[in-house]
Amino acid sequence: MSMMASVQICRRFSPLVARPAIYSANSSFLSPVSFASSSLSIMPIRLRCRASVHSVRAASTMGDTITDANMDAVQRRLMFDDECILVDENDRVVGHDTKYNCHLMEKIESENLLHRAFSVFLFNSNYELLLQQRSATKVTFPLVWTNTCCSHPLYRESELIEENALGVRNAAQRKLLDELGIPAEDVPVDEFTTLGRILYKAPSDGRWGEHELDYLLFIVRDVGMHPNPDEVADVKYVNREQLKEILRKANAGEDGIKLSPWFRLVVENFLFKWWDHVEKGTLMEAADMKTIHKLA
């Protein structure tokens, strides 16, 4: 694999036309697989339930019709159908709510909505980090560059499993397939190393933003990719020096490069010292799941 691989993703195409596969140098593309529902059970949790999807849609229809009418259809469906896991600042589950509500700055500020999230950092066998540029249709932080995959475990049994952050790792495997077309076989859940957790708040624009308790997952694998243009505009592998140049350009406002706030926080606080452990195969030495780092 070259030291810098970049793939430009087509913005739109007919669903009847097969998407082009992107192959790594060391791994052939594998077809997406179906996921069996987890047979593991979890103990009942007393939850503080939020507004139903129907009531949220009603509120949106009444107050936000014009704004929401411009939302991409795929993103709108995910905003209302996906239920994020609400937690307190100690990462205890307190309820659930739609992705829509969890990303409205008005609700984040008025109700202190905090949801669980994850950020995947995937390295190839050359120890290059895979970055993605978020699609132009994303509701929050469109077209910014970020780490390999950033999303949320959902309020479902398989992604609520607390032991060894298995629910979060299950969600990461699911979203790597959804966003980048990386098959589950290429990213086994047992191969993720959960290095730590950060808590941050970041507005995206005047309306949307993030308030997340974010699990940081590292994995070293050569994978096949088939990026989803509804989620991803571009992807590239970078080494340390290339990432430092991207960071310099983002800070200088050059070439229109912007970084997601959570990625910037990880880069500035942890990433380069953790990169040493990636290359040495000693990631577990860097893991700290007892601390929740509150970053601004």
Average pLDDT over residues 50-59: 40
Burial class (CB in 10 A: 0-12, 13-18, 19+), 25: exposed
pLDDT, tens digit, 9 for 90 and up, residues 169-181: 999 999 999 999 9
On whether the pTM is more than 0.85, the answer is: no
pLDDT surpassing 60 at residue 36: no
Residue 49 has pLDDT above 70, yes or no: no
pLDDT band at 157 (very low <50, low <70, confident <90, very high): very high
The Cα 155–Cα 135 span in angstroms is 25
For residue 246, the model assigns a pLDDT of: 97
Q: Are 167 and 192 in contact (CB under 8 A)?
A: no
CA atoms within 13 A on the CB side of 235: 27
pLDDT for the residue numbered 205: 81
pLDDT in tens, 218-277: 999 999 999 999 999 999 999 999 999 999 999 999 999 999 999 999 999 999 999 999
Nearest to 132 by CA among 152, 151, 148, 150: 148
3-class secondary structure, 234: strand
More confident residue, 194 or 16: 194
Candidates 32, 15, 25, 7; CA nearest to 176 is: 32
CA nearest to 246, candidates 136, 132, 127, 140: 132
98 within 8 A of 82, measured Cβ to Cβ? yes
Least confident interval from 27-36, 123-132, 214-223: 27-36
The residue ranges of every structural domain in the chain are 75-294
* Separation CA 283–CA 275 (nearest Å): 9
pLDDT value of residue 58 = 39
Q: What is the mean pLDDT of residues 151-180?
A: 98
Q: Regarding predicted confidence, which is higher, 23 or 296?
A: 296
Is the pLDDT confidence value at 154 over 80? Answer: yes
> Rounded mean pLDDT of 199-221?
94
CA distance 127 to 44: 41
CATH superfamily of this structure's domain 75-294 = Nucleoside Triphosphate Pyrophosphohydrolase (3.90.79.10)
Least confident of 38-47, 149-158, 172-181, 225-234: 38-47
More confident residue, 199 or 73: 199
Find the range with the poorest average confidence among 57-66, 88-97, 136-145, 201-210: 57-66
Q: What share of the chain is helix, strand, coil (3-state, %, to 5)?
A: 35, 25, 40
Task: State the catalytic residues.
Answer: 150, 212
**Sign of the dihedral through C-alpha 219, 159, 163, 286:** positive
Beta-carbon contacts of residue 263 (< 8 Å; ≥ 6 apart)? 119, 145, 146, 147, 150
